[in-house]
Chain A
Amino acid sequence: MRLLAFLARRIYQSIFVLLGLSVLIFIIARILPGDPARTALGARAPQWVVERLREDMHLNDPVPVQYVYWLRGALGGDFGISLVTRRDVANDIIEFFPASFELVLLAGIISGVAGIGLGTLSARHKDTWVDNVVRILSYMGVVTPAFVFAIILLLIFGLALGWLPAIGRLSDGIPAPPTVTGLMTVDALLAGQLATFWDALKHLIMPAVALALGALSQEARITRATMADNLSKDYIATARSLGIPERIVMGRFLLKPSLIPTVSILGLDFAGSFSNAFLVELIFNWPGLSRYGMNAMLRKDLNAISAVILVLGVIFITVNIVVDLVVGGLDPRIRLRAARSE
């Protein structure tokens, strides 16, 4: 019940944030210079055709009226048609989203597992060479932008060594599996096409690692800091002095409370990966939502830009709510505080 109330309050707040975001997107798309109808038709289209399209797109109405038209469409899942490709934007998004999701999901898994693993390793061997190596590497990881990682990985593993395919989602001549989830690797497994699965996975690894490295480093740093902090607390010494096996002290007493900040960061990183993916997908020519959004931006395709940002906003806000719920589940103090404030 408490959980439901919390959820209801967060969703209620989010609606206002999303409404505000829709206004902001609309302002970016419509008030800033450039005529969308002219952009769509190109410089050589006759003026009367441009006028017709302006009428059709409600561009001659007052701005607030335009906003209402646009919002009404967006709420019904209708983002209009792309000004460049003339395709339905909503369909495009549905088509391109799974590729991004697959990429970001794998990046999230890699960064979570390796980040927590390295952070734990570092904390257990605090102030030894292991710790120092992990700390230096993770510091470099935090300050290096994802597109630099992408270029370096591409150079080393894609081009110089040739171990992994440099671009795309599948090699030529490999049959694509029937679409069930839209995640190429999962679909291939469902269809029993092991060769396709292997090929899709090889395509997926480099972009996923490029996306994961930054997040991974941050998670390793946070995990190490919290764990090192908790390790010196009295309850750990008490547990050890009671003769509780180290495995249990580490796994049950130390790991859980130490994961709280990491989980928060992990969630934010997961949602933030969609934004870093803008460049990474471009570099690896990965046919995902982020590359779609990036191309829309480069071609000033306003309907597609607005739709992509709004979708990413919804994802970001949803992930934030989920993170709050998970952190609440891990941390009894937050649970209690939330209960008291009801």
Chain B
Amino acid sequence: MAKQGKVEKLAPPITRQYVRELQRQNRMENLGRGWYKFSRNPLSILGAAMVLLVTLLAIFAPWVAPHPDHAEPFTDFGHAHLPPSLEYPFGTDEIGRDILSRVIFGFRLSLWMGVVVLALVVPVGVLLGLIAGYAQGTRVDTIIMRLTDVFLAVPPLILALAIASVLKPNLTNSMVAVSLMWWPWYTRLVYGLASTLRNEFFVSSAETMGASTAHILFRELLPNMISPIFTKMSLDMGWVIIIGSMLSFVGLGVQEPTPALGTMVAKGARFLPDQWWVSIFPALAIVAVVLGFNLLGDGLRDLFAGEEV
């Protein structure tokens, strides 16, 4: 009996479970290797740490902000326009609100905007790109890609501003405006990848075996594009946050008293140069978030370099 058991250990039967276990081990090894490569670059680690910090601040804003009530309708004219101090590290604004607390809540809004916009844009853009790329040379391809060209003919900021301006200025509408302008970038990226991949052997063999179009799009093509899409998403978080802050800067985004970083920069600009902190700290906060996501995105890109098709 014992001997039999030993033989079984040497050559286990190739069951589904065993294959799954092997795949799991393989994934863990890849993950470990990826992390090693990623962690070699201190800038990538810095980026990841910044993103993590901002995310944690955003999630736990009501608990970590020194004055969480300052993100709501609040006035304290006795403490208006105070320069940075221990009590108010970023100073206070014209109605006595703690700017640090409002910046922390502003992170919340910026990240939320980035997440929602990407959640809307990535599936649509990727799906259209997959379809157009797989159906290359057909009428479907022409229609989708010409439509994409039209949206890409003008910088996204201008059309987003235009759409936001005809809608009511609030968070939902600014997310709609940015989303409407953003999907073509994913369509174009995925289109390029898909039109190369569709000529690979694994695609033609799936076709030969009678696999459905959905299977080819989502099980054969899509898994091979995850890295570039993921990298672009990380970089785009930064850009979406910038565009969001631009919208709120001109007053087409979230309205007072909800703290948006762009609005804070714009309102504070009136008090330059004497009360510089009202405007400058929110401005630096925008730069810090975007910097974090860009460093992270570049780290991911280096990690995936060579894997791209």
Contact = CB atoms under 8 A, between A and B. Distances in A.
23 contacts: A18-B153, A28-B159, A32-B166, A140-B291, A143-B238, A145-B290, A151-B269, A151-B283, A155-B273, A155-B279, A271-B155, A274-B155, A275-B155, A278-B158, A278-B161, A278-B250, A282-B250, A298-B250, A309-B154, A309-B158, A312-B154, A312-B155, A317-B153
Contact of B159 (A20, A154, A155, A309): A309
Interface string A9-52: 00000001110110111001100111000000000000000000
B242 interface: yes
Interface stretch (B84-92, B95-103, B144-152, B223-231): B144-152
Contacts of A147: 246, 249, 265
Nearest to A268: B155
Count class of interface residues, chain A: 35 or more
Contacts of A151: 265, 269, 272, 279-280, 283
Contact of A275 (B158, B251, B272, B280): B158
B166 A152 contact: no
Given A143-B291, A148-B283, A316-B155, A279 B246 contact: yes
B162 interface: yes
Interface of A: 16-18, 20-21, 23-25, 28-29, 32-34, 139-140, 142-145, 147-148, 151-152, 154-155, 159-160, 271-272, 274-276, 278-279, 282-283, 293-294, 297-298, 300, 302, 305, 309, 312-313, 316-317
B150 A143 contact: no
Interface in B64-113: none
B294 A155 contact: no
A309 B150 contact: no
Interface residues of B, number: 39
A32 B165 CA distance: 10
B286 A24 contact: no
B273 to A, nearest CB: 4
Most interface-central of B167, B245, B273, B276 (chain A CB within 10 A): B273
Contacts of B164: 297
Q: List 10 A-B pairs, minimum CB-CB distance, nearest first.
A: A20-B150, A297-B165, A275-B155, A159-B273, A32-B166, A143-B290, A148-B283, A275-B157, A160-B273, A143-B291
Interface in B114-160: 146-147, 149-151, 153-155, 157-159
A144 B154 CA distance: 21
B287 interface: yes
A25 B180 CA distance: 13
A20 B147 contact: yes
Contacts of B290: 143-145
Nearest to A297: B165
A16 B250 contact: no
A28 B163 contact: yes
Contact of A272 (B155, B166, B251, B280): B155
Contacts of A21: 150, 153-154
Nearest to A314: B153
A294 B146 contact: no
A32 B155 contact: no
Contacts of B246: 145, 147, 278-279
Contacts of A282: 250
A16 to B, nearest CB: 7
Contacts of B153: 17-18, 20-21, 313, 316-317
Contacts of A142: 294
B287 A148 contact: yes
Interface string B198-241: 00000000000000000000000000000000000000001000
Contact of B167 (A25, A32, A143): A32
A312 B158 contact: yes
Contacts of A294: 161, 250
Contact of A313 (B147, B154, B163, B165): B154
Contacts of B154: 21, 275, 309, 312-313, 316
A79 to B, nearest CB: 14
Given A145-B245, A145-B287, A155-B279, 16 more contacts: A16-B146, A17-B149, A21-B154, A24-B159, A28-B159, A33-B167, A143-B291, A144-B287, A147-B249, A155-B272, A159-B273, A275-B157, A278-B246, A297-B164, A312-B158, A316-B155
A305 B165 contact: yes
A300 B265 contact: no
A43 to B, nearest CB: 16
B89 to A, nearest CB: 19
Most interface-central of B161, B166, B242 (chain A CB within 10 A): B166
